[in-house]
Structure 1
């Protein structure tokens, strides 16, 4: 019984380790190919198997103490990871006090002026800003009307995320002047050339529904990890190799073989 428990707990822990390392960092990993609807049943299934392995370890402790102890160690590690993830999910979507600013009062004056220029060129004003958190900022394009405002995240006096989807953007250099901008959503903004965007801080970029034909024009943003460029005019992924830390991409709707 203890040996059976050790084999099961080791296999589960190996899968868990793969999921949190290669599974999350490799865009071609098996984990990325699992449909979203299957993630919760798998999560519950692995949890129940850990409980089963723990029960087997207790049942076989009297016969194989060292084996049972090793199995219990794997089980405690795995269940600890599950408990941590569960607690993180409970807190997801709930900003801690002071984590975000919800007006322009604390924003650096220089950055405020830059945001005002960006908004003006998009046919908007600062009064159209909707302050939100990172986990909500990418959802603007899903709402019924996204042409009346733009989303912004402000943390500790700096702009950390912007969403100007569905607004015309002609000058990308202004975004480069926001030193802490990490997430940028520019869906359906009439973009064709991204060479004006220069930012080593930018990690997430969504430029879907534009007319971009060459990823090499993003050479000014070498640290992008999440790149979404659906429904553009790309014919290849040439230039993707310049992003050394790429985690996830989406090029659906392009003419890529």
Structure 2
């Protein structure tokens, strides 16, 4: 069944695909890779190859249909639905499940926004399906926003986690929601307050919902502490806004 999530901006995870490959600096310390290795060591079904091999899990396709309580699902927290090794026919099967189990809300986040836009070309995405892309830096992340905007969807969102640099001016036209967070775990790179503050201020000016997820391994002062000690406040305030379309 679905796995209840500790991720602050969702309620449960649904993983019909496991495994991925790295495409940009945001992938360097991938939390899913670490978790997959841990699950592999525990002998958890579906993680026999850890994170090294993209595995399609047909048995997971029916999970949302079995859960009758309306739930916000993060789709493929342990992979990327639009990885090139995921056949379009399987992606179609995932969308068919989301269409059928339409009492849930689905959050699809990808670093392959170009493929997602091509796949959804000439398609109207149902309102209960949100489409998002990762924006960790200017070079790799920001260009993904234009691909995301090509998709006909009510809710488009950005995940700037880990936020690795000042993103500069952002075109937030057509964007409903932005998540910002610092990096956690071994080797985590610090996030400067000014980078997060710039995104928050641009969201406020554009009327876009803003969610500050975490500082990560380094706090607002740049000192490395536990994630719990660093907290979730930006400039003394918690930001947990969700899209108005929810």
TM-score by length of 1: 0.32
Larger Rg: 1
Kindly indicate which of the two structures has a greater share of residues assigned to strand. 2
